[in-house]
């Protein structure tokens, strides 16, 4: 993967609002400082303006690229997660064909990649019925339950619970899939619109004891 594109991914998310100060003052210096970090190669990439879709595709390519080291994969994944905070970008995951490569990463050998995959999924599906439905169709809720209940890394388990919580709230089809995927001892039926009931399931998932890896 072109290293300049990876630099551009990081720069674009970090500095996309550099010219917008909190009170409208001092924005020009912020923009100037941001511009100083641009290399000629990055400026060349920006000529013509890569879209969010371009950046999302590039980020996912970096994460899946076997030649890219873990540090740069995580930079790309962090950029990807921030880009899909907007519901339009989250809903573009399907037409861009990015849902399948995203959920595949829930089974990645690196726990940090699994953590970011769960994080990005949780961001995409939050208050987004279209994305919640796609997650159900991909049958990825069982994979998230596996992460939440068995992953040796606590941070990864927490992000898996976050993704599950975002997926099932106010969306009964996802809640039904969760009920079928949970271990024994959990409710077999839960109303996705009952926030207290959903919270109780999430609290129990968070409290699941998992042996630390040695």
Q: pLDDT by residue (tens digit) across 168-190?
A: 999 999 999 999 999 988 988 99
Q: How confident is the model at residue 214 (pLDDT cuts 50, 70, 90)?
A: very low
What's the structural domain count of the chain?
2
> Of 83, 114, 145, which one is at a domain's C-terminal end?
83
Examine the domain organization and report whether 114 and 71 are in the same domain.
no
- b/e for 22-37, b at 16 or more Cβ within 10 A? eeeeeeeeebeebeee
Q: Tell me, what CATH number does 146's domain have?
A: 1.25.10.10
Examine the domain organization and report whether 105 and 193 are in the same domain.
yes
Q: How confident is the model at residue 131 (pLDDT cuts 50, 70, 90)?
A: very high
Question: What pTM did the predictor assign?
Answer: 0.77
Hey, what are 23's tokens? 């009170």
Q: What residues make up the domain containing 146?
A: 97-209
If we measure between CA atoms, which residue out of 46, 116, 134, 123 comes closest to residue 86? Answer: 123
Chain Cα centroid distance, residue 18: 23
Examine the domain organization and report whether 127 and 164 are in the same domain.
yes
Examine the domain organization and report whether 102 and 44 are in the same domain.
no
**pLDDT at residue number 5:** 67
Examine the domain organization and report whether 170 and 71 are in the same domain.
no
Examine the domain organization and report whether 118 and 202 are in the same domain.
yes
Q: Decide if pLDDT at 73 tops 70.
A: yes
């Amino acid at each position: 993967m072109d290293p300049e594109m990876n630099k551009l991914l990081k720069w674009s998310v970090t500095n996309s609002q550099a010219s917008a100060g909190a009170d409208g003052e001092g924005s020009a210096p912020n923009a100037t400082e941001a511009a100083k970090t641009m290399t000629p190669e990055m400026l060349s990439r920006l000529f013509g303006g890569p879209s969010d879709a371009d950046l999302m595709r590039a980020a996912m390519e970096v994460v899946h690229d076997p030649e890219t080291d873990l540090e740069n994969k995580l930079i790309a994944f962090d950029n990807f997660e921030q880009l899909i905070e907007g519901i339009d970008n989250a809903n573009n995951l399907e037409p861009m064909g990015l849902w399948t490569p995203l959920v595949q990463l829930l089974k990645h050998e690196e726990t940090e990649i699994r953590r970011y995959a769960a994080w990005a999924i949780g961001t995409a599906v939050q208050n987004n019925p279209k994305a919640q439905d796609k997650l159900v169709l991909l049958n990825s809720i069982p994979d998230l339950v596996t992460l939440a209940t068995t992953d040796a890394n606590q941070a990864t388990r927490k992000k898996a619970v976050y993704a599950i919580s975002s997926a099932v709230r106010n969306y009964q089809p996802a809640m039904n899939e969760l009920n079928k995927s949970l271990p024994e001892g959990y409710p077999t039926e839960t109303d996705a619109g009952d926030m207290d009931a959903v919270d109780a399931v999430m609290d129990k998932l968070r409290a699941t004891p998992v042996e630390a890896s040695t």
